[in-house]
Structure 1
């Protein structure tokens, strides 16, 4: 280890040693934030090599007072030094070394007339931790910790590998103590993310990781990003994450590379245009799995309410399915009820199914007969006892016929849905009330344009238009249920243009959320003013979200 050249002392600008530090790059050292509290500049020395160098203090962990997390600071030298840097242990090696009963060393600079360094031998273990931030240090007989050890690297004397940094000690008689604490490198990296550039990590290459970290520098970890993360990993987080980079390494170090590719694809949607393009370019160079196909978007969970009309009887078979992580989850038993009892049966079935989706990003899908597509399902209750309407969540309708095996409508929908996703954006086709009234003309228009995948109507579509669109497999349609009664169709066109503008360019997977936002906006608009979110119906029919038909159901 070249005589352990990376060990250094830290002092005040006016003189006097106050702690320790260790060299991580040719110009940067790590120490404790409390060691350099109140300083903008400190002095640094490498014992026997080079003494009394000026260094800029860069607090990076948010530490303010004793007991705070993030007791980490970086010391930045004005010029590079030619000494060997500390060899840092990887996250897995930190745990393995500390649990094997090894003895570690620490080098401090306590107050002594000779002003020389002192050494302590300690043991530690990840099982002896406090508040998930610190690991306990115990000195061997004949050694102790005292003031001047803060910021010292805790290192394996046999290999030189650094596993953490001394932060404090429980001092007793003579200002010495045999009990102290360190912050492991796995926590230091939370507060100084650049440390990851120098750790021997097992994912990607060091240059690729550095480029990705720099690309995500300053990007916060938000609740929407958290929902994407939980969807990709399939499990809730145990701890809060501090940044987007923190979440990326969380995935990279716990799941296969394919999950990292999926998560970066989801993260890109939350970035502005320029960094989003840079991230896409980075993925193309370093994660081929991410560009072999469009990065998978985390699927929202769903309650899929299936209503099938019973032949020769004014009744319906009601089934509430769940759709979780791209597959069918637990479903409620099918219940046959009279038409007047459909709503109470649905609301009760939804209430029983809530435990499967609550806590996730979820929506409600009504797969219903064609004549029911315009019902105001968002006004039904997700919680009848507390009168909480379903419109608090994304609500869409689907053609129940497309859920049946061997349905031609479903086969047609697959084609247009694939084209829609390949484009990655919604290019809505407006249909105002002045369009050809005959269903055959509308049918011919759609058949001739088999890339039309999103239709926006000026008002409630005619039955013949709706049938033609379903027969041609149009997967997305939007309309307000307000009837148009103006001869010039000016108002309906205004609402239609507003609705088309709201969904134009949006990714098809985001349309249920767009509709939710429009419905909420409409609640703030005076009732006498038209708004495209009022009485809004969204038919959103993803043919891949296909729960199995209930047992015994006619097909």
Structure 2
């Protein structure tokens, strides 16, 4: 097809009736059976014996009622009709859903990808399933999913605030073993649960930022339309305090990366083994209505890490008053990282133990003897209260934007907030989902 829509018509011989102006809109029929297969849309011009037609299955993308009259050999008429009725019902009900996501669920991991321009309607995705997928179960999966969405309760928090449908871009940075100045970087995009490698190489530290900017731009081409982008940096534990959210968004765009996209960090070690399995179970158990109550870990609490381990057993969000490398907080921070706590928050330049120099932000800098970490926890707790853990990356994006736009950005209590956010469902096991970057079928 031309442009994904038209088919060229060519004369079989040099005589007979050519296509002429005025034929547009006429039916194109097969000579032997009379079956209508399209509609004339253009002629080749005077003396040119060709033209174009719009096939009937393309017409049905725009005219759903036509679909019930067209054959779909791979699928039963009853399945096709059920799908069409459910899609029509969804349109009348104003159902909010992602046609791209529904198509990918129906197609499965080995089905054709979403077309480059995506789907502009639920029917367009449904008709693509009928025309392009041979598996009869694909229509059933699509119809069952639409029916489940129609039957789902549409009241309460989940109706008022749709949870994000994250499509992450993962930037993995690690030591290279080739010298202190060298790092290994790999950038991947995750779409519909599948990992798409973008690029990987060994770089000097000074080359890191421009390389990551360029690869992130490339990774966006792999994301499914109508999903929520998320930038995630997987780092060694000693580098978790890197200010990656402050890196420039582009060579001509000085906007901090964390003010352009939801951005999180995660620990390499939390993406492996039993901890990964427990994290997955924890996320599955988080109710959509649960809010991000912050379990405070003060810089000078003196709490035994073993007692903290018990206290964090049911915690969804742990807030630290000091950064990971701070001498007083490091044992407790390591304890939290080795337990399935989905979210950790801290200020990168929080309390260092001296308790001097209170922050200038009036909303956060009172009554703590100059402890910036306690002031941060006092401010972040109410800010995230009532927010579900799944929404926190988007919520922290707004907070970073507010801090960056303040009259005194350096004095704002959230000037260097760091968010460690771990949902393994967004980052499937790379060994199970990746295709080798240089494979001829990647």
Instruction: State the TM-score, normalized to the length of structure 1.
Output: 0.52
Match 2:67 to one of 177, 193, 196 = 196
* Shift in CA distance, 490/225, structure 1 to aligned 2, threshold 3 Å: farther
Tell me the residue number matched to 1:66: none
Match 1:454 to one of 305, 317, 330 = 317
Matches within 5 A, 1:321-400: 321-325=186-190, 326-327=194-195, 329=197, 332-334=200-202, 342=205, 344-347=206-209, 349-350=211-212, 353=215, 357-361=219-223, 363-381=230-248, 383=250, 387=254, 389-391=256-258, 392-400=260-268
* Shift in CA distance, 519/216, structure 1 to aligned 2, threshold 3 Å: farther
Provide the rounded CA distance (Å) in 1 between the counterparts of 2:112 and 2:416: 35
Match 2:302 to one of 417, 420, 438 = 438
1:246 shift after superposition: 1.0
Provide the rounded CA distance (Å) in 1 between the counterparts of 2:378 and 2:298: 10
1:464 shift after superposition: 4.1
Is 1:500 equivalent to 2:388 in the alignment?
A: no
Query: Between Structure 1 and Structure 2, whose CA radius of gyration is higher?
Result: 1
Tell me the residue number matched to 1:217: 91
Contact 2:11-2:50 within 8 A present in 1 as well:
yes
Contact 1:396-1:512 within 8 A present in 2 as well:
yes
Match 1:539 to one of 410, 415, 420 = 420
Partner SS for 1:359: helix
Match 1:300 to one of 158, 164, 168 = 168
- Alignment deviations for residues 344-378 of structure 1 (CA, whole Å, 9 cap, x no partner): 25325535755762423465433334443233221
Provide the rounded CA distance (Å) in 2 between the counterparts of 1:545 and 1:130: 35
1:214 shift after superposition: 0.8
* Shift in CA distance, 150/278, structure 1 to aligned 2, threshold 3 Å: same
* Shift in CA distance, 377/139, structure 1 to aligned 2, threshold 3 Å: closer
1:242 shift after superposition: 3.7
Contact 1:379-1:390 within 8 A present in 2 as well:
yes
Runs of at least 5 residues in structure 2 that lack an aligned partner in the other structure? 154-164, 224-228, 351-363, 369-373, 432-442
Partner SS for 1:439: coil
Across the aligned residues of Structure 1 and Structure 2, the Cα RMSD in angstroms comes to 5.1
Provide the rounded CA distance (Å) in 1 between the counterparts of 2:83 and 2:3: 30
Provide the rounded CA distance (Å) in 2 between the counterparts of 1:308 and 1:261: 48
Structure number with the higher helix fraction is 2
Tell me the residue number matched to 1:486: 366
1:213 shift after superposition: 2.0
Equivalent residue pairs, number: 377
Tell me the residue number matched to 2:149: 277
Partner SS for 2:88: helix
Match 1:248 to one of 126, 134, 145 = 126
* Shift in CA distance, 366/138, structure 1 to aligned 2, threshold 3 Å: closer
1:529 shift after superposition: 11
* Shift in CA distance, 181/230, structure 1 to aligned 2, threshold 3 Å: same
Instruction: State the TM-score, normalized to the length of structure 2.
Output: 0.63
